[in-house]
Amino acid sequence: MFLLFSVATALAALVSAPFAIAVAIVAAVFFAWSVWFFRDPDRTTPNGPNLVISPADGKVIKIDEAPLPKEVRDDAPGSTTQPMVRIAIFLNLFNVHVNRVPASGTITRTSYVPGKFLNASLDKASEHNERSAAVMVDAAGRPIGFVQIAGLVARRIVNGLKVGQAVTSGNRFGLIRFGSRAEVYVPRGTAIAVKVGDHVIAGQSVLATLPLARASP
């Protein structure tokens, strides 16, 4: 995705240069911006079998209880229609938008749902916006859900996860292009390590510590 944007803007800058300096400058600026936006810095992920790591850079805007999204709820091992603890993170245009797996385990369910492009900071974006959801279970059988949600400007969600895939905490798995929202669902009884207003870093910030024994979602 980054390569496509970079090549397109670079070519536009070169082709337009002899004819319109202003157009060339705009294309060059857009090229520089695309390089910056699609940056993918290395991160050091904390080790720990009970840690849940942030899947996205951004600001924690909500911590509440909600059931897993309906499209991944019924067939996800260990999950029910009962509420889980949900942590919502808002990504603005200036955040790194590469997403990372929040814990180690096995992917049990994935789903993509087309939808609207409401402001991602609104609660109704979780239900009405275009989104990609995944559920995994860790080595102790504890379910963890995470969702990529498109925003007002976002028009493309990339998620490379497959059912049955073994994943490691901090692994890159996808991207939401431009401003967007990410949500993490963890079992009740999980100790939450962040609060609303905190800024978190994908693959690095600890969101929560799972209970030692398997808990009902």
Active site residues per annotation = 180
Q: Two tokens at 85?
A: 């603890």
* Integer Cα distance of 164 and 161 in angstroms: 9
Beta-ladder partners of 144: 136
The DSSP element (H or E) to which 31 belongs, if any, is helix 21-37
Cα dihedral 31, 32, 36, 39 sign:
positive
Please calculate the CA angle 148-154-158 and round it to the nearest 5 degrees.
45
User: Which residue, among 211, 152, 209, 145, has the nearest Cα to 182 in the 3D structure?
Assistant: 145
Residues 200, 89: contact at Cβ < 8 Å? yes
Sequence-distant (≥ 6) Cβ neighbours of residue 98 within 8 angstroms: 40, 172, 174, 175, 202
3-state secondary structure of 209: strand
63 — phi, psi (to 5°)? -130, 115
CA dihedral 109, 64, 194, 125 (to 10 degrees): 70
CA 73 from centroid of its chain's CA atoms: 18
